[in-house]
Amino acid sequence: MHKTLIQPHGGTLVNRSLYDYERQTAIEYAYTLPQLTLSQRNLADIECIATGVYSPLQGFVNEEDYYNIVNDMHLSNGLAWTIPVTLQIPEMVSDKYKLDTEIALVHPNGDILAVMSITNKFKPDQDYEAEKVYGTTKDAHPGVSVMRAEGEIYLGGSITLINTIPHNDFQNYRLPPTITRAEFTERQWNTIVAFQTRNPIHRAHEYITKIALELVDGLFINPLVGMTKSDDIPANVRMRCYEIMIEKYYPSDRTFLGVFPAAMRYAGPREAIMHAIARQNYGCTHFIVGRDHAGVGSYYGTYDAQHIFNEFGRNELEIVPMKFEHAFYCTRTQAMATAKTSPSTFEERIHLSGTKVREMLANGKTPPTEFTRPEIAKILINQARYASA
C-alpha cells in the first residue's frame, strides 16, 4: 500500500514562480526596476529557492536568519538550516540597491529572471562566517574564496521567479521537487534513498548505494551539476557515466536519475545537513552520508559529516541519514567491503575515491576494474585525453 510521501522541510513545498497573466505583469514591472546581475552561485540559489529545493526559504536570508544559521544552525523560526543562502554585492555599488525597495535579478546574458524585495541590508564579519560555516578563514578553501568574492554587503528578502533559468544541458533530468514527488508516487515508492555525488559513480559508490537499495523501495541518484571546482570532472561527462551505470548495473525500475542544480560550497558537515534537507524536499526518506561528504582538502574529519546529524533530533530532521564507512576493494575476498565486513589487512585493501581517480586520469592512466566499471573508465580516460589536448 502506498503511503503519503514525506513532508517537505517545514511542512510546505515552496513555489516562488509566477505564471500566465501575473507573470506577464511582473515582467513588465521588472523592467522599471534597478537591475542586479547574478553570479553563477546566485543563479543556482534562486533556482533552488524558487522551485522548493531549499524549502522553507522564500528568498535570500535576512539578517536575523543569517546570524541564527551561522551561530546555531537554525532559522529564526527554529527550523534546522546550516548554511546561509546569501545575495552579496560589492560595497562600492551598494548605494544603488536601497532598503525596502524592489530590484530585478538579471542573468549574465541580460535576461531578467526574478524580482526581489530588499527587506534587509547588512555587512557581517566574513571571517566569523568563514570560521563558523567552513571551519577556516583561509582563501585556499573554495567555499571561503567564493564567499569573499561575492561581495561585502548582504541583501536579504523574498524573490519571485518570472522567467525560467536557462539551461542547455540535462533538460530531461532537471526535475523540481513537484516532479520527483509525483514520480515517486507513480512508482509507489514509500521509502526512497538519495545519493548525492559530484564524481562519477565508482565501485565504492556502487557498493554503498546497492546496500542502501536493499533497505528501501527506490534509489534517487541526484548528482550536483551546479558550480564546482575547476578540477572536478565536468558535469556532462559525469552524467554520461551515470546513464551507463543505471542502464547496465542498476535495476531500472528501482533507480531514478535527476540532477541537483545547487552550487557546491564544500562546507563539509554543514553542507551534508543542507543536502539532506534538499533531498527531503525532493521526497526522499533517507540520505546516504559516506566518507568526507561535501569535503575538500583536509579541512574536515573523515566522518564529521556523519557526526553532525547527531546534533539534530528526529523532530528537527525527518529524513534519515544512512551512514557508511569508507568502502574498498578487498583482494582477499575479491569483493567490495568496509572494515565492518572485511578481515583483510591494510595491504589487502584497494582504497577508492574520486580524488584518486582524478589523479590517475591526470597521469594518463586508465582506472582498473577495482576502481570503476570498464565502460566508465573508457569515458573518463577519453575525457582526460581530450582535456589535455
| Residue in the structure block whose three cell numbers are 552520508 | 289
Specify whether the CB–CB gap between 258 and 170 falls below 8 A: no
Query: Phi and psi for 326 in degrees, rounded to 5?
Result: -65, 125
How far is Cα 44 from Cα 174, in angstroms, rounded to an integer? Answer: 12
| 3-state secondary structure at position 372 | coil
Coil, strand, or helix at residue 197?
Answer: coil
Give yes or no for a contact between 385 and 363, defined as CB atoms under 8 angstroms apart: no
Q: Kindly report the number of other CB atoms within 10 A of residue 381's CB atom.
A: 16
In the residue annotation, 71 being an active-site residue is answered as: no
Cross-strand pairs, 157 = 60
Write out the DSSP string of 215-246.
Answer: TSSEEEE--B-SS--TTSPPHHHHHHHHHHHH
DSSP state letter for 49: H
Cell of 358: 582524478
Among candidate residues 41, 198, 238, 291, the one labeled active-site is 198
Contact in structure between 270 and 84 (CB atoms under 8 Å)? no
Let me know if 198 is a catalytic residue.
Answer: yes
End-to-end CA distance of the chain: 55
Other beta carbons within 10 Å of 345:
10
Catalytic position from the list 62, 199, 222, 281: 199
Parallel, antiparallel or unpaired: strands 112-117 and 102-106:
antiparallel
CB 294 within 8 A of CB 271: yes
Phi and psi of 351, rounded to 5°?
Answer: -80, 140
Catalytic residues: 198-199
